[in-house]
Structure formats: C-alpha cells, structure tokens
Structure 1
Amino acid sequence: MSGLRVVPTWQHGQERLYVCLADGRNVAWYDREAGRVNLLSDDRREDVLDALGPFLTGPVTVGPPPVPTPAELVRLTLHPDDDLAPNRPGEALQIALDRDPSSPHRLRPDPRRRALAAELTVGEALDELEGAGWHALHSLPLPGGDRLHHLVIGPGGLFAVHTLYARKQRVLVADPMVTVGRREPSPLLRRVRSVADRASYALTAEVHPVLALFEPSHVSVATPVREVRVLSDDFAALARTGGVLKPADVEALHAMARDRGTWVRV
C-alpha cells in the first residue's frame, strides 16, 4: 500500500483532486479540466497514478506543475479579503438590502431592488463572455462611497459598465442628460465618464465608458454621445470589438483590477 489518499476540492468553480500523504502533505494534484497530473516529486509517480486511477478520465499529461505567470503569482499572493473577483453582480446592493430590508408597507417598490435586478441581468450577460477570453468583475468599491458596477476586460479592451433600470420605459439620451420615463433628466453620462476615468487612472490603461439600459421600451439619442457607448439589449456586443490586448495583457490587467488595493486612491 502506498499510503496515499485522494482529497477532492473546489477552487473558483473548478474541481481539483489532491493526492496526500498520511500526514496531510500534498504530493500531487489532478486538474481534470486541464487533463493534467501535477507532481511535486517524480519519486512518487507510480504511486500517485495508482491512487488516482479510479478518478482519471481520458488521457492525462503527467509532470511538474507549470511555472505560474506573473498574473497567477499576483492572484496566488492576494489575500481573500482583498480579492474582488468573487463579487456577485450587485454585491453592494445585495449587502445593503440584507442589512436594511425595505419595509413591506412601502407604497412604491424599493429602488434598490430595481437597481439590483438591472445589475444582476447585465452582470450575468457579461459573465457569459468568460469563455471567449474575457473577464468580468462586479461592484468594485471606489473611495467616497461610489462604485464601478461592472468592469469588463478582454481582447477588445477595458469597459466600465454602468447599469440603469429602465424596464418598459422610454429613455432619452441628450448628452450629458439621460431621461427615463417621466423622471427628471439627470446628467448621468458625466458620472459614467467620471467612473471610467477613475478606472483608467487606477489601471494605467484606457477604460471605455458604457451605459447599459435594462429593458427599456424605446431609446432615443437626441445628439451624438461623446465617448460613451449606450447598450440596451445585446450586452455581449462588447466582445465583438476588435482585438487590442494580448492574452497576457488581459490576464495582467485582470489580476490588477481584482485587487482591492488598486482602487483605494482613485
């Protein structure tokens, strides 16, 4: 008997099978998605493969762990409390509602719940871009109590996405004013540009501002909008922009953006 045992774990939604000695030390792990068995010591190769035998699916590559990239090293050294990547869409709103739920006797719906519905829908659409070489981060806190609703990083560049609830309402965009239904016009595009500028400063890279409208009945743009891209349904259109960044640059910017410390002085 080799004395090795296999311990399954989940990290960032991916399964890994660790092969451990009796004292708990790891000697290898099996990344099923990558089809690779990573050996910390080649001396135990046969024992490791015997232990993993019942779990192996298809051909595998066996060898020492790959050398981590600079972006992976940043992620590995990042404290979990400072890692913003696990943030859900609308994370700040969800926490606020959990701490201070709206009264059931309100005559009007809590506007925070409408804003949350918009951020959830847009955020889930942006998360679907992950398989195409893109990363989406959500609810990034900024000094002064502001936040960046969504940051999208991929081959086509960086986009700061601000969501606006407009379900079944007409929206008029007259730069910098945005009018939803019968509400008073608001200079929202100034805020959208300002948040994108702060993100550009933090990441030392150009970040494009985007206004994402949640289920409007109609959108009118009275004058050409400067810099800001306005989307109302096809949020995946961001992934169809031309290639600007190399994969290594995308990973490096994502590693920087997910670090809470990146945003403390913007």
Structure 2
Amino acid sequence: MDGLRVIPIRQHGRERLYVCRPDGGNLAWYDRDAARVNLLGADHQEAVLTALAPYLTGPVSVGPPPVPTPAELARLSLHPDDDLAPNRPGEALLVALDRDPGRVALPFRTDPRRRALGAEQAVGEALDRMEGAGWHTLHSVPLPGGNRVHHLLIGPGGLFAVHTLDAHRQRVTVVDPRVSLGRREPRPLLNRVRADASRASYALTAEVRAVLVVVGASRLTVPSAPRGVRVLADGDVESLARPGGVLKPADVEALHAMARDRNTWSRV
C-alpha cells in the first residue's frame, strides 16, 4: 500500500508512531517503550512494517492491540488533521511567523509576535512537564472568530484555560478587568480570558477555570483577586497541578479525547 503516513504522538510521557492511510484512517501504531507494533488489521502488516522501518530501533513484537479504552477508541477514529494534540506551544504564532515573517520598522526592535511566542513556549513547556502526573495540555486551541485558548490544561485538579501575557521586564498591574503593562493604556484583558474559559466550558460541558500567566514581568501587582480568574507569575505555573481529587483518571482521558478533536470547538 502506497502513501502511508507516520505521525508521532506523545501522550502520558510515552511516544507512539501512528501509521495512517492517505485518507487519514489508522492502520497501526508503534509503541517505542513496549517495542511493539499494534496492528488494527493483519492484511496490511507488510506495508505497515515497511513504513515504520526507518523508525524501528531493534526487535519488535507485532500483533493486535490490547483492548482499547474509550479514549483510545476516540483517538483511533479521529482524522489526523482534526487532532489538536500534536500542536506545539505557540503553534498559531509559529504558523503566522512562517507565513509572514514581517519586518520591524525600527532597528534593534524585536517583532512582538516573537516575544509572545517565547512566552507561550515557556509556559507551554512548564505545563507539558506535568504530563507524568496525569495531566494533559493542548496548545493553541482554535475558537471560531479567530481567538484561541493558548493552553488547555486537563488533569486530576480539573480544567484550566491558560492565557499567556508577555510582559518583557515591565511592571504589570491587574485591576479587574483591566491589565496595565508598563506605560501602556490599561486594557480589559480579563474579559477576554474569562470569555475564552466560558467558551471552553460550553464546548466540553464541564467547568473550565480561567488563568492568566504573566511572563517576564519586573513586578506583578494584583491588589485584589479578580473575579473568576487566577493570576500567576510564570514561575508559579506548576502550582496548577497541586490540587487533585476533582476528576477521576477515566474522566481526564474522556475530556482530553473530546478536547483534542478540532470539531469540538467549531460550535462555540
């Protein structure tokens, strides 16, 4: 069979390589840690092993997969183009910069999109480190109208829509709903953060809490806690993983399977 695609997916701290037909249907996956190729049908074994040959690192066992969980079934039925799990932190900005690198009119100035990208990548990497503790993070979740959830964190402590703000060594003051950055005019950013979390709650039919992470601020001042938004400095991101007991592992997997499907977000 010609035209097979090999797509890497990382979940639960383990890497799998999925082998897909040209139309996106899954034929098999290779679990590196288990050194096993799981075939969804024996008819294509030779073609699957040929496609995986450059990636195999030693002897492997080949056979039918173990009985899949509901979350795994959802993953297997999901077209790769609709799967948001492979998105990198700052995926939307990476794509935008690749399409239009842009130019900055003044010398020695950095394109603000690149600083925003650096902030999203720093926060995304911190969130991805929680993977081994039962958490999943989806990055650059698209919303109708052009907005996006920068990071969606799903785990034992619940669901969080995380918005990243690049402060770049400036003072930041948060007075609900406005956020002032350096000498710029304050803007009602918290309304946007709350709205994105509300849309995520609607899409997933579950409570999604709003979080604003301020990256690289020289000083962060929050005189009083904003309504419905948790404000964190970038060094405190991992504190989101401390609470537990909200979601069972099966619920985490089911919500992650739903959230990673691009079609879930088309109706919000």
How big is the shift at 1:112? 1.1
Secondary structure of 1:85's counterpart equals: coil
How big is the shift at 1:102? 2.0
Flag as ranges the 4+ runs of structure 1 deviating above 3 A: 15-18, 28-32, 34-41, 54-57, 104-108
Which letter maps to 1:158? L
Aligned residue for 1:77? 77
Secondary structure of 2:145's counterpart equals: helix
**Does the 8 Å CA contact 2:135/2:153 hold for their aligned counterparts?**
yes
Tell whether 2:13 aligns with 1:12. Answer: no
C-alpha deviations, 1:230-261, integer Å up to 9, x for none? 11012111110122001110001001000000
Which letter maps to 1:223? S
How big is the shift at 1:15? 5.7
Aligned residue for 2:251? 249
C-alpha deviations, 1:194-238, integer Å up to 9, x for none? 000000000000000000110111111122211111110121111
The alignment yields a C-alpha RMSD, in angstroms, of 2.6
Q: TM-score, normalised by structure 2?
A: 0.79
Q: How does 1:54-65 map to 2 (within 5 A)?
A: 55=58, 65=65
Q: TM-score, normalised by structure 1?
A: 0.80
* Partner Cα separation in structure 1 for residue 29 and residue 254 of structure 2: 25
Percent identity of paired positions between Structure 1 and Structure 2: 67
Which letter maps to 1:249? D
Aligned residue for 1:126? 127
Say how many residue pairs are matched: 235
Comparing 120-129 and 198-207, the one that deviates more: 120-129
**Does the 8 Å CA contact 2:8/2:18 hold for their aligned counterparts?**
no
Aligned residue for 1:97? 97
How big is the shift at 1:34? 3.8
* Partner Cα separation in structure 1 for residue 18 and residue 152 of structure 2: 32
Q: Rg: which structure is higher? A: 1
Residue segments in structure 2 that go unaligned for 5+ positions in a row: 1-5, 20-26, 43-56
Among 212, 224, 240, the alignment partner of 2:242 is 240
Q: How does 1:1-266 map to 2 (within 5 A)?
A: 11-13=8-10, 14=15, 31-34=31-34, 55=58, 65-103=65-103, 105-107=105-107, 108-232=109-233, 233-266=235-268
